[in-house]
Copies of this chain bind each other. A is one copy, B any other.
């Protein structure tokens, strides 16, 4: 057996401009050096309460059932589905990219009868397409992605789609992984029933907690389940007893990650949501202009292009992997490639949270200019 214990951790100072994780403020990193509290210590319960209050502000909701589940963004996705699906439930998934596919896969695993409406990767839905599908059959859930991380497309018209779903008797599940904290997400005004996100994108916290919020209407559906939630760890009926006044032990919370989440949310609200959205937008616009000048035009038309994640199209002469490797090795910049039908055809450039900075955009554009001109 190998008895080597390895050297001190010694990492490169990466500039994270991929689809997440984004960079984390030194304030948030420092918060994790706080010595631990027990998961039932009154001081820790206060941290949870504050985190919950801050999360409601960020989600723009008064939903009582608002909390973080103890896992990364995919755990948020899984919590949103596993709690509201019972075997045999009909579920409509709107697929416009990779994360729609993942939602369909997860829903199937929990025994849902999954139907899909679909547009090509890089497109978004017209509300009428979804409304038509909702009229053809009665669904328990309509599930859609607000900001598709695989394509850079924003699903606009969420309020209209949610209204159509409610007219058809379905609950609305919204993936806000790549939108929350970077562009408007207004859960109550849009009348979304279940929304989840991730810590490590526009909230700029380290991954490990996934925000979720549940409307009173959806909570009632949860309380009236006939079968227990298969997923014990993410069962919101257990989690809400820990977050609520009962304070019943469920799991040992990831204490240090909660310290980070609280600090990261404080930073979001100190900046202010409107100012934060404007900053994300302004830096994205500089990026877009620079990409056009480099003959790397964004895939997504301006009217539904995400400010948090841009997908420039690569001309066939560009060696995708080599350029990305050189960005990392020579400039310490991480961006990501496309996948699925977009593999080799686009890059994915994130400007989220602490990473959304003018100096990062200017450096990236400069580096790309050098690498594309001297291959």
Do A252 and B73 form a contact, CB below 8 Å, given A1-B57, A232-B109?
A: yes
B43 and A12 form a contact (CB under 8 A) = yes
Asked if B38 and A233 sit within 8 Å, CB to CB, the answer is: no
Residues from chain B with Cβ under 8 Å of A237 in the complex: none
Near B by CB (< 8 A), chain A positions 181-238 give 198, 200, 206-208, 228-234
A97 is an interface residue with CB less than 8 A from chain B: no
> Which of B47, B57, B256 sits near A208, CB closer than 8 Å?
B256
The 8 Å CB contact of A106, one of B43, B110, B232, B256, is B232
Q: Known contacts being A232-B78, A334-B41, is A255 close to B34, with CB within 8 Å? A: no
**Nearest chain B residue, comparing its CB with the CB of A105:** B232
Chain B residues near A321 (CB-CB < 8 A): none
Secondary structure of the A contact surface, majority rule = loop
Interface size of A by Cβ–Cβ distance < 8 Å?
86
Judge whether A233 and B43 touch: CB under 8 Å: no
- B6, B228, B234, B259: the one contacting A266 at CB < 8 Å is B6
Whether A35 contacts B47 by the Cβ 8 Å rule is no
**Distance, CA A266 to CA B7, complexed state (A):** 9
**Contact code string A26-54 (vs B, CB < 8 Å = 1, else 0):** 10011111111111110100010010011
- A17-25, A114-122, A162-170: which lies at the B interface? A17-25
Per the bound structure, the CA–CA distance linking A62 and B1 in Å amounts to: 8
Q: Across the interface, which residues of B come within 8 angstroms of A33, CB to CB? A: 26, 29-30, 32-33
A106 and chain B: residue at smallest CB distance: B232
* Contact A257/B257 with A70-B75, A78-B233 known, Cβ cut-off 8 Å: yes
Known: A70-B72, A208-B208, A256-B260. A78 touches B231 (CB 8 A): yes
A228 touches B109 (CB 8 A): yes
Contact B34 A11 (CB under 8 A): yes
Can you show 28 pairs from A to B with CB atoms below 8 A apart?
Answer: A2-B57, A5-B266, A6-B53, A6-B262, A14-B35, A14-B36, A14-B37, A14-B38, A21-B252, A24-B36, A29-B32, A33-B33, A36-B200, A41-B334, A70-B75, A71-B75, A71-B251, A72-B251, A72-B252, A72-B253, A72-B254, A75-B233, A75-B251, A78-B233, A206-B254, A207-B256, A230-B230, A230-B231
Further 10 A-B residue pairs, CB within 8 A, beyond A29-B35, A32-B33: A2-B53, A5-B54, A9-B34, A13-B35, A24-B256, A29-B256, A30-B33, A71-B251, A73-B252, A78-B231
